[in-house]
Amino acid sequence: MTEAAAPAPESRPPLRIRWALAFVVFAVFFAVNAWLQPSLLTARVLTSNLTSFLPLVLVAIGQTYVVLAGDIDLSAGAIIALVNVSVVTLIEQAGGSGGAIALGLAAGIALGILCGLLNGLLVAVLRLQAIVTTFATSIVFGGIALWILPQAGGSVPQAYWRGYAGGLGPVKLTVILFLVALGTAILFSRMRWYRHLLAIGGNRLGAFQSGLAVTRQRVISYVLCGLFAALAALCLVGETASADPLLGPSFTLTSISAVVLGGTALAGGRGGVIGSILGALTLGLINNIVFFAKLPYVTQDLVKGLIILAALAGGILGARR
């Protein structure tokens, strides 16, 4: 059977409109943030904020690929926790040298890919329900993380966190990593594989009947989610210089929130990574606003929930039109 080009599940204008709305929401919260924090527009503060937002941006990118295919990954946060404690523990036990750091980085990336591959095989190959399966694997990954490191602790050499805080001349490493992630996302969006992913999420049966490798594409989306979760974990190690087996779970629902806020339909087939990046940045700004406005911490979740509900309602109304 020849591989036919499946019909695009959506036209370009609706996608651009969703991204425009995501940008407007981001701009509003950025303006409020700048009002509450006048120093926000300085290079130092912008870089500091980007450093804090980068892990969520990365895991939101990975989650987007899974959601676009019509699936979901509830284990992304647990993968972050597992990679986080594994890398710190491995670097410590290997002596903390430059070679140990390189080994830890490679092992962390490989572990994230393997976790994503396991999810992909269970969901796409064995055809288990995505939400139940990834919830189960999140328990497994989280349990292993707690077994490796029962409580927060450990440390990495100065070379790790100083290197993460450094950069190339005046450009910080976190800015470079963000630009690389953004460029990679744009590159992926121009590939045939990405168009096939949209087709699979929009109409899985139709995509299969048109000759697309549905199972393989879904597995790849989970592998990418595991990879980006691992990269997020490595960034967290650089930011905190330690490990915490319980830091991951909050990233799962927050990454899904960023995806929804960015205009990607949870049913799959509509949306894109650019919107998810804007969504992740917006959620980070909400955290800042709650802090600088000295609002109760519960306000943070309330505002996020209302925004996500509005985004979901807007998506449903748009689909009905």
Per-residue pLDDT of the chain (321 residues; tens, 9 = 90+): 444 445 444 444 466 777 788 899 899 999 999 999 888 889 889 999 999 999 999 999 999 999 999 999 999 999 999 999 999 999 999 988 899 999 999 999 999 999 999 999 999 999 999 999 999 999 999 999 999 999 999 999 999 998 898 877 788 999 999 999 999 989 988 999 999 999 999 999 999 898 999 999 999 999 999 999 999 999 999 999 999 999 988 899 899 999 999 989 888 888 899 999 999 999 999 989 888 888 887 777 787 778 778 777 766 666 555
pLDDT value at residue 309: 80
Instruction: Encode pLDDT of 13-34 as tens digits.
Output: 466 777 788 899 899 999 999 9
What pLDDT, on a 0 to 100 scale, did the predictor assign at position 293? 85
Supply φ then ψ for residue 191, to 5 degrees. Answer: -90, 155
Nearest to 198 by CA among 61, 319, 65: 65
pLDDT digits (tens, 9 = 90+) for 212-262: 999 999 999 999 999 999 999 999 999 999 999 999 888 998 999 999 999
pLDDT of res. 315? 64
**Count of other CB atoms within 10 angstroms of residue 279:** 32
| CA triple 152-155-160, angle to 5 deg | 130
Q: Closest Cα partner for 53 from 70, 69, 40?
A: 40
Tell me the two tokens of residue 89: 């523990």
CATH architecture of the domain covering 12-320: Orthogonal Bundle (1.10)
Query: How many angstroms separate the Cα of 279 from the Cα of each of 135, 176, 188, 259?
Result: 23, 20, 19, 6
Query: Taking the CB of residue 297, how many other CB atoms lie within 10 A of it?
Result: 9
For the chain, the structural domain boundaries read 12-320
β pairing state of 171-172 and 167-168? antiparallel
Q: How far apart are the first and last CA of the chain?
A: 35
- Residue 168: predicted pLDDT: 76
What is the torsion angle, in degrees rounded to the nearest 10, for the CA atoms of residue 152, residue 299, residue 131 and residue 275? -100
Dist. CA 21–CA 208, nearest whole Å? 32
Tally helices (H) and strands (E) across the chain. 13, 2
By CB neighbour count within 10 A (0-12 exposed, 13-18 middle, 19+ buried), where does 11 fall? Answer: exposed
Residue 249: predicted pLDDT = 84
**What pLDDT is recorded for position 281?**
96
